[in-house]
Amino acid sequence: MRIAGEKSGKDCPAATTEWWGAGIFILRVGVALMILSHGWPKLQLLMEARGGEWMDPLGWGGAISLGLCVLAEFFCALAMLIGVFTRIAALALVINFWVALFAYGQASSWAVNELPSLYLVCFVTLLCTGAGPFSVDNFLRRWILSRKKLGRGRSDTRDYENIN
């Protein structure tokens, strides 16, 4: 359904899949690289066993909080960078920045909360869109679908209607 005055995909190159995919790719890779720069120092803290020094916004202990933060900001960011399990990684990062914004930073000013808010919006967007066409997720999805199509013509599928 088109809105009056709206251009079709032919008339508007930004509406095509290639441009949409390029935009999602740039967002995914760019935000993953930025988060990795935050996750690397936290991973070093965890490796030095200095988790007790870390803040504890949820009351689970500093080491657990730091471990969850490293999981999201380093390992999930790596997964997002290559485009594998992107929605799962995005969900972990949404939770991470939700905690950073609302559990830890609720008394802070907007100047402090602006960056976590921006990251939260980016990761919610990637949670909704997925990795896009230029990703390992898309390659795996297409590979699995092609395998299923090859299996449709075989006679090894069960006929459940004839079971007594």
**Domain spans of the chain?**
16-151
How many Cβ atoms sit within 10 Å of the Cβ of residue 98? 14
Whether 75 has a pLDDT exceeding 90, the answer reads yes
* pLDDT confidence of residue 156: 47
Rounded to whole angstroms, how far apart are CA atoms 47 and 127? 29
Question: Quick check: 86 and 76 in contact, CB under 8 A?
Answer: no
**Where does the pLDDT of residue 51 fall: very low under 50, low under 70, confident under 90, or very high at 90 and above?**
low
How many Cβ atoms sit within 10 Å of the Cβ of residue 84? 16
pLDDT in tens, 114-146: 888 999 999 999 999 999 888 998 898 888 888
DSSP string, 92-135: HHHHHHHIIIIIISTTS-HHHHHHHHHHHHHHHHHHHH-S-SSS
77, burial (CB in 10 Å: exposed 0-12, middle 13-18, buried 19+): buried
Question: Quick check: 42 and 77 in contact, CB under 8 A?
Answer: no
Arithmetic mean of pLDDT, 63-84 = 92
pTM comes to 0.74
